[in-house]
Amino acid sequence: MSTRDYYALLGVSSDSSTHEIRDAYWRHVRTYSTGLEPGDRLRELREAYETLTDPYRRAQYDLGGDGAGSAAAGPEAVAAAATITTATIPPIRPYPEPEPVEAEPAYHSRNPLDRMTARLPRPWRIAIDWIVTIAGAIAIVLAIKAWVVNPYRIPSSSMEPTLHCARPGAGCESRLSDRVLANRFIYHFRNPRRGEIIVFNTPTAAAEAACNASGTFVKRLIGLPGETVNERNGTIFIDGKRLNEPYIQRSRRDHRSGTWKVPADHYFFMGDNRIQSCDSRAWGSVARGALIGEVFMTYWPPNRISFHFVGGAIALGLFLYVPLRRRRRSGLR
């Protein structure tokens, strides 16, 4: 390769200084090092740099016409032309060959939906993902309502003052109706217990005939299967023993009397507001299969949030106690 080729390769002229040649060399190195196969090009650049920065080799090329007349010029001419001492030549740093870049391993998702839609365009994948997410959320909500927990609204005053209905309904005391949550799976694991507030479906024909209403009711469980419920002037007796009912206000007791035998696998319900409750005294006992679930919490309105069983009170206490305990500990630090 001739001197002109070296100059052209680095993009410099014959009167360029060593520093200019060095700068041009590293500028080209940075350019060609980004390629996929820079080895041959970098070797040519290095050879041109070493030739043009060596004062004796450069003098031979410049005086001898690319080395052809170097012998005729003589060593004196070569030495005179080599005006740049080797001490002023900047050292060339070794330039390592670039290591091959390994391709990143392809990401394999464990999500079956991602694998199924991997070949689809991105907008389609996003749309399908949203549709599946929304459908899944709706399915989860419906499943929870059907088998776990379901909300109900108190429409009448039959459970006053335990559960409020909204004015101007007859006997209602609150501006807003209470909203309650019923545990729909609890009775798959145990039997109903006396005193629990339960959501159930009434015997349709009997309830329509007695109360002109039927459907889903909320009442308190009074009589268990096989028991005899007796009311004497508003006081309830179970198998001859008086039932303690602290949830009944004296002003809300009626003065009725009667006796009812609870069949096997049936339950006897009454409202806490006896004077305005159409209950099992009017339309009879309720079969076990008609029970929906136990009312365990009032969640609306906010000032009426409460639990209706002992375990709920314990859960509420833990819910309030643990954060307060942590706050006190953090304040001591």
Which residues, other chains included, contact 159 with Cβ-Cβ below 8 Å and sequence gap of 6+? Answer: 197, 218, 219, 220, 271, 272, 273, 277
Mean pLDDT (whole number) for 125-141: 91
Mean pLDDT (whole number) for 80-90: 47
Per residue in 157-198, pLDDT (tens digit) is 999 999 999 999 888 989 999 999 999 999 999 999 999 999
Which range (50-54, 106-110, 160-164, 248-252) has the least confidence?
106-110
Residue 131, pLDDT > 80, answer yes
Distance CA 32, CA 54 (A): 23
Euclidean distance between the first and the last CA atom of the chain, given in angstroms as a whole number: 78
Active site residue 158: yes
- To the nearest 10 degrees (0 to 180), the angle between helices 3-10 and 18-32 is 60
Task: Give the pair of three-digit tokens for residue 106.
Answer: 């392809």
Instruction: Using pLDDT thresholds of 50, 70 and 90, give the confidence band for residue 275.
Output: very high
Residue 329, pLDDT > 60, answer no
Mean pLDDT (whole number) for 52-56: 70
Smallest CA-to-CA distance from 291 within 153, 192, 156 is with 192
The conformational region for residue 330 under phi > 0 = left, psi -120 to 50 = alpha, else beta, is: alpha
Instruction: Using pLDDT thresholds of 50, 70 and 90, give the confidence band for residue 12.
Output: confident
- 3-class secondary structure, 150: strand
Smallest CA-to-CA distance from 185 within 139, 221, 145 is with 145
Active site residue 157: no
Question: Of these residues, 70, 156, 174, 219, which one is catalytic?
Answer: 219
The stretches of the chain forming alpha helices (DSSP H) are 3-10, 18-32, 39-53, 55-64, 70-81, 112-116, 122-147, 204-211, 280-283, 310-332
Question: Of these residues, 156, 157, 158, 280, which one is catalytic?
Answer: 158
What pLDDT does residue 230 have? Answer: 96
Which residues, other chains included, contact 190 with Cβ-Cβ below 8 Å and sequence gap of 6+? Answer: none
CA 65 vs CA 10, 61, 81: distances in Å: 19, 6, 13
Task: Give the pair of three-digit tokens for residue 189.
Answer: 């694991």
CA 256 vs CA 221, 230, 265, 281: distances in Å: 18, 10, 26, 10
- Write the DSSP string, 223-275: E-TT-EEEEETTEEEETTEEPP-TTS-GGG-----EEEEPPTTEEEEE-SSGG
Q: What is the mean pLDDT of the chain?
A: 79
Residue 166 is classified by DSSP as B
C-beta of residue 174 within 8 angstroms of C-beta of residue 166: yes
Which residues, other chains included, contact 47 with Cβ-Cβ below 8 Å and sequence gap of 6+? Answer: 1, 6
